[in-house]
């Protein structure tokens, strides 16, 4: 094991390496999503102003942020909502 670093034809470990890389990416995304969930708030369409819940942030991060009217929706955080309600 590990003694044939230069033998590129010997790539039997590649699928496991790729699986591991995807696991690590998943953990990183989950970690970021957990931190971001604390921001709260909702999503808003910049064109028609439709509002919707943020949904699963981890899924949004890994598959693409939700769109509406052809554009990426804006995240209005709970603190931004609070600022809006003051005006």
Q: Please tell me whether residue 46 binds Zn ion under the rule CB under 5 A.
A: no
Kindly tell me which residue out of 24, 32, 47, 82 binds Zn ion, with binding defined by CB under 5 A.
47
Question: Could you say which residues in the range 53-82 bind Zn ion, by CB under 5 A?
Answer: 68-69
Kindly tell me which residue out of 43, 45, 54, 76 binds Zn ion, with binding defined by CB under 5 A.
45
84 Cβ partners below 8 Å, 6+ apart? 76
CA dist list (Å): 32 to 19, 36, 81? 20, 6, 22
Measured from the CB of residue 83, what is the shortest distance to Zn ion in angstroms?
22
29 Cβ partners below 8 Å, 6+ apart? 58, 61, 62
Measured from the CB of residue 45, what is the shortest distance to Zn ion in angstroms?
3
Instruction: Compute the distance between CA of residue 40 and CA of residue 71 in angstroms, rounded to an integer.
Output: 21
Contacting positions for Zn ion (CB under 5 A):
45, 47-48, 50, 68-69
């Amino acid at each position: 094991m590990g003694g044939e670093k230069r033998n590129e034809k010997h790539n039997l470990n590649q699928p496991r390496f790729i699986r591991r890389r995807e696991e690590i990416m998943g953990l990183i995304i989950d970690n970021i999503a957990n931190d971001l969930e604390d921001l709260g708030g909702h999503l808003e369409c910049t064109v028609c102003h439709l509002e919707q819940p943020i949904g699963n942030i981890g899924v949004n991060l890994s598959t693409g942020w939700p769109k509406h009217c052809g554009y990426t929706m804006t995240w209005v955080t709970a603190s931004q909502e609070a600022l809006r309600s003051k005006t």
